[in-house]
Structure 1
Amino acid sequence: MRSSYGKLFFVAGFVCVLMLTSWHTSKSDNLPFQLHSVYERLLRAEQQGEVLSKELLKVLGQLQNRSIAPSNHTISNSSAILEERVLRRLLPSQPNAYIYLPHLKEHEDSLTPIVHLGQRRTGVSLVLGVPTVHRQKQSYLVNTLQSLLFDLSTAERKDIVIVVFIAETNAIFVNAVVQSVQTNLPDAVSAGVIEVISPSPHYYPDLSNLKETFGDPKERVRWRTKQNLDYSFLMLYAQSKGTYYVQLEDDIIAKQGFFESMKKDIAYVLSEEWLFLEFSQLGFIGKLFRTSDLPMIVEFFLMFHKDKPIDWLLDHILWVKVCNPEKDSKHCHNEKARLKRTYKPSLFQHVGLHSSLLGKIQNLKDKDFGKQVLFKSHNNPPAELRSSLEKYLSHTLERAYNGVDFFWGLTPKIGDYILITFTGPQAVKGYLFRSGNIETNGDRFYNTTVEVLPTSKSVKVRVTRGELACCKPSSDGFVQIENHLGVIIHKIFIKVLF
């Protein structure tokens, strides 16, 4: 069998970590996590019910239209009242966008997203919202998505959806972003982990005559106003897809294990009152909301979308909810802290230098993000190591295999290899060969085979006959494999194909 990573792009080289591993699961007796699991299942059931209700009402509406079309009769009062009651009872509340954006009334599909990629996944724990816009200098989107996906386990990939919102209506740009995501992350798209959407061409109002406030020039006022509308559209789309929503940007990197960290922190405050959890202190990055709270939050954003930046508006929601005008600022601060829980270290870091606002340089860094862990230590069996790749500085293959560093090789070419020869035969249940790391995830193997040399002649014969689904024959007695093996081997051979 074959471990294939597509086409290879290298700038300076690559980094990799080698691990041989056998996996096991353990049961947790932690009561908060058990309660959290039950609570999540209840919320998912509620969300699935809402989705079914929408579909039912759509069908009922179609049937109703068919029934009244021939006779051109109007709907009876009782029917209209019944429909209104059903809508109120079964559908989640929606912000009245038509009041704050009256131009939406001119087109029926103004609030309907265009879904370009994805499997319309619902019922997950975390929905990550990643808005992206045209940048004059550099796009960080693919690196951001690779960072979010880098450390997710198989189970976590099934319990998350990343919604990329292309906040533009220019068809050429939209198609270019769609193609880029599809080309660079095909597996995540086909599995439903990533969705790519864009707004209706009728969504945005005329932004040319906005009032200048806070000393900001007209272009900055237009930029922040559109940004408020972008976040609102994305949140409306995300609310029915999962239990919690996390607001991100298209120029960030994620800390390894962010999914597990978030789930643990949520579990400990499950029964407490809060509006959002803060996993980054920069702007609007890393803010986690209950999806059930999103309609209220979006309503507030839309109400004041022309007036202030999004992070200011979020703080104002806290003030409106808990601050008493008759008490001092300290009391207000303490009350807001109950609804805004801040966690350290931060799980997301801003890395983009060039802002989407033309000419703006964004040097902000989250000081609580800390230093990123670039590899995971692991014990491997004794072996002799050989490679045709030139090491960079002290990042040797031996240090990577021994679990004290990562291997950084320079300028790979066709035919380069890594050969691991065990000092004695090893019964290997599985392996992990990972290239790239969370900060330089573009420097990786994209087209590589992993081959092993079985010690048993009968295994080689069965592979040659095609009797083992795990493997296919290669040269010199080696067989190509994937990660599930279960045979005794003597060597592992990793070869660059390009």
Structure 2
Amino acid sequence: MSLDTLKPLTDSPDQEMFLQSTIYYFMPHLREHPDSLVPNVVLGQGRRGVSVVLGIPTVKREKQSYLMSTLGSLFYGLTFSQQRDLLVIVFVAETDFDYVGSIAKAISKNFPKEVHLGLLEVISPSRHYYPNFTSLRETFGDSKDRVKWRTKQNLDFSFLMLYAQNKGTYYVQLEDDVFAKASYYSDMKAFATQEASKPWLYLEFSQLGFIGKLFRTHDLPMIAQFFLMFHRDKPIDWLLDHILWVKACNPEKDTKDCSEQKALLKQRYKPSLFQHIGLHSSLPGKLQHLKDKDFGKQTLYQGHNNPAAELSSSLKHYQQHSLDRAYKGEDFFWALAPIHGDYILINFTQPIHISGYLFRSGNIEITGDKFYNTSVEVLPMFSVCLHVSGAFENGVAEGKIEEALQPISALRLVVRSDSDVWVLLSETNVFIN
């Protein structure tokens, strides 16, 4: 991808938000290039108005890159409604446009649907955004390389926060080498709603560094300005703690009182929703053996209290992973590769009103064993014909059942073509009125 294909934002709210005069006091080199505060939008549909924005800065690594694995875990299992209410922004924090283009190309190849829907954006900074790092003062016994690395990280996080501030209600800071739990979106949104009335500055969904910190987007300008003010001085997690100190601590009281007051401005969610997976740091030569002990084990299935039904299927299940156990929420259903005409039938013991359904195939460890070209059919009580209600898309079938078809006697999944892979049903949720 060449420089010509990069699209700078012009005459947009995103440009206006960057043009804050105070930034020039902290980064005086920007006065010579005012347009360097405008991001290059490499991929994106300009999505706004979502509940949750995820920000992921990524840089060129000497060793292994984890970005695609990180994105894969974030997109795994999202429902249609969740895909519409989420925005993931990848900030390629490099000024080498060939490299930026290569990342955009790889993302487009691996996640074409997410890019097309506007769920995923890729941006990069102007070549003039970063200052001259050679004049940085060494502090805290850190080497020049480490001081440069942490300073650039402060600038990267600030840039991303300012870009994201008008995109949604909440902003979550992630890194490019994390792994998300399958339920991370619903868990984060539910906890943020639960804690909405409290005066927190951020919610923590991981105890590691800056990973999984959720902010209200209206607080981002203040936070980014603080980071920019002291970007040369300290690491970003230290600066975040200093914001808490400024907001909460009374200099006339002791350290214990300060800690108690700061604790009110951050709320911790357990178990952690994000785990650090990278071994090789973005700082060359540094190995990171960071693991969040509160992350626990991954959930391989999601159980629900479904209405009583007789179950049958033409699919042969593997070992103990039966359809009956999956429907009861005790396990996932795992079967040999289906062929055209294979089915799963859920025949309710008595007709009931059903508002909708959710079937999720594959799980976080076995991501490829999904239903492909498979439809969902409903059988109304007063009909002898099944009605097609929906189909699996990217391994998930989610839909509502109109009132005219109620009550419902049965639901059926029907495979329309032979598959090369096994199928795994990790969630079956029948919503009753």
Tell me what 1:119 maps to: 45
What is the alpha-carbon distance in structure 2 between the residues aligned to residue 192 and residue 423 of structure 1? Answer: 35
Task: Summarize deviations over 1:8-56 as a string: whole Å, max 9, x none.
Answer: xxxxxxxxxxxxxxxxxxxxxxxxxxxxxxxxxxxxxxxxxxxxxx759
Give the TM-score normalised by structure 2.
0.77
Task: Summarize deviations over 1:357-396 as a string: whole Å, max 9, x none.
Answer: 2222222122222222111235574214435x9x5x7656
C-alpha displacement of 1:491? 7.5
Tell me what 1:443 maps to: 368
Tell me what 1:368 maps to: 294
- Which amino acid in the other structure matches residue 383 of structure 1? S
| Greater gyration radius | 1
What is the alpha-carbon distance in structure 2 between the residues aligned to residue 384 and residue 355 of structure 1? Answer: 48
Cα pair distance change 1:496/1:272, threshold 3 Å? same
- Which amino acid in the other structure matches residue 109 of structure 2? T
Whether contact under 8 Å (2:359, 2:398) holds in the other structure is no
Whether contact under 8 Å (1:114, 1:200) holds in the other structure is yes
What is the alpha-carbon distance in structure 2 between the residues aligned to residue 318 and residue 491 of structure 1? Answer: 52
Q: Equivalent residue of 1:496, what SS?
A: coil
Cα pair distance change 1:396/1:363, threshold 3 Å? farther
Tell me what 1:383 maps to: 312
What is the alpha-carbon distance in structure 1 between the residues aligned to residue 201 and residue 74 of structure 2? Answer: 24
Q: Equivalent residue of 2:57, what SS?
A: strand
Q: Equivalent residue of 1:188, what SS?
A: helix
Whether contact under 8 Å (1:448, 1:497) holds in the other structure is no
The runs of 5 or more residues in structure 2 that have no matched partner are: 1-10, 392-396, 422-433
- Which amino acid in the other structure matches residue 493 of structure 1? V
- Bigger relative contact order, structure 1 or 2 (CA pairs below 8 A, ≥6 apart): 1
Cα pair distance change 1:297/1:394, threshold 3 Å? same
**Paired residue for 1:98, among 9, 19, 24?**
24
**Paired residue for 2:192, among 266, 287, 302?**
266
C-alpha displacement of 1:248? 1.0
Give the TM-score normalised by structure 1.
0.67
- Which amino acid in the other structure matches residue 112 of structure 1? V
Tell me what 1:496 maps to: 419
- Which amino acid in the other structure matches residue 101 of structure 2? N
Tell me what 1:22 maps to: none
What is the alpha-carbon distance in structure 2 between the residues aligned to residue 267 and residue 402 of structure 1? Answer: 29
Backbone CA RMSD of aligned residues: 3.8
Cα pair distance change 1:237/1:423, threshold 3 Å? closer
Q: Equivalent residue of 2:75, what SS?
A: helix
Cα pair distance change 1:248/1:441, threshold 3 Å? farther
What is the alpha-carbon distance in structure 2 between the residues aligned to residue 176 and residue 194 of structure 1? Answer: 16
Task: Summarize deviations over 1:272-314 as a string: whole Å, max 9, x none.
Answer: 3222122211100111112121111111111111111100010
- Which amino acid in the other structure matches residue 171 of structure 1? F
What is the alpha-carbon distance in structure 2 between the residues aligned to residue 108 and residue 433 of structure 1? Answer: 50
Tell me what 1:246 maps to: 172
The runs of 5 or more residues in structure 1 that have no matched partner are: 1-53, 59-86, 472-480
Which deviates the most, 279-288 or 395-404?
395-404
C-alpha displacement of 1:454? 11
What is the alpha-carbon distance in structure 1 between the residues aligned to residue 78 and residue 85 of structure 2? Answer: 10
Task: Summarize deviations over 1:166-211 as a string: whole Å, max 9, x none.
Answer: 1112222211211222222222222221111111111111223422
Q: Equivalent residue of 2:256, what SS?
A: helix
**Paired residue for 1:278, among 204, 208, 212?**
204
How many pairs were matched up? 391
Tell me what 2:138 maps to: 212
Cα pair distance change 1:269/1:383, threshold 3 Å? closer
- Which amino acid in the other structure matches residue 100 of structure 1? F
What is the alpha-carbon distance in structure 1 between the residues aligned to residue 48 and residue 255 of structure 2? Answer: 41
What is the alpha-carbon distance in structure 2 between the residues aligned to residue 483 and residue 288 of structure 1? Answer: 30
What is the alpha-carbon distance in structure 2 between the residues aligned to residue 196 and residue 351 of structure 1? Answer: 22
Q: Within 5 A, what are the aligned runs for 1:428-467?
A: 434-438=360-364, 440=365, 442-445=367-370, 448-450=372-374
Whether contact under 8 Å (1:94, 1:295) holds in the other structure is no
Tell me what 2:254 maps to: 328
- Which amino acid in the other structure matches residue 372 of structure 2? T
